[in-house]
Amino acid sequence: MTETRKPGDELAEDMLGFGGRDVLTAKDLLLRPAAVLRSWMEGGPDGGGLYARPLRLYLALNAILMLILFLRGGAGFVLDGLSAAQWEPLLDMSGKSRDAFVADADGWMTLVMVPILSAFYAIAAAPLLRWWDPDDLGWRRGFRAAFGWLCAWTVPVLPLSAFGYGSGPLAAAVGALTALIGVVAFVRMGPGRWFQSPLSGVLKGVALMIAVQLSAMVGGVLVGAIGIVGALVSP
């Protein structure tokens, strides 16, 4: 069968990285995530030709998150936790003012933050989703399931993401809400596959979110380290 693509789909994909199939997948992830997961697990990475591939969709969602991060002023907030004793040797080695150092570090961190954290999310989620699935998924389908859940989590979070970057009370509140949405996405997506009862679904969803948040802490340290090294070597 020949795939029919509308001109509007091609224009949207050229401009935003999104086509008609991506939009359909995002919509169904909001409305019936369990059916989308079943299609991905049983029909292959494109759900039997119906849906976008989960990794491809997640990369497109990440591109939007990177744009939002850039428009919100970048990732300089990652260095907010450094003490005066930690700043002093960094500024001495770089020969820069603190503002100049943060500006250089921010450029590097804004570039790598979203893809690095996304990779850590997938690495944390895939083993658990593979373990909880009654089928012998193997690592390939295990990561497909992980990216599928990450897409189901990210789609409803996108409208909130502009308020989630930073270190203030609003960012903390949005972070907590984002974690709750991740648990809800797991519970809606995995009944009969990742869990059999609502209670076990909630408990596993919380465990999954804890694993993802711990991996994000490690990824955040790596992001900060890249920013610091980048600022030190930048002229």
Whether the per-residue pLDDT at 10 is higher than 80: the answer is: no
**Residue whose pair of structure tokens reads 């450094």 in the numeric block:** 82
Q: What mean pLDDT, rounded, does the chain reach?
A: 86
Residue 195, helix vs strand vs coil: strand
Structure tokens that stand for 171 in this block: 């960012």
Give the rounded percent of residues in the chain with a pLDDT score beyond 90: 46
Which residues are CB-contacts of 72 (< 8 A; sequence separation ≥ 6)? 162, 165, 166
More confident residue, 159 or 188: 188
- Predicted confidence at residue 234, as pLDDT, reads 84
* Helix or strand run (H / E) with residue 190: none
- Stated pTM of the model: 0.83
- Predicted confidence at residue 8, as pLDDT, reads 41
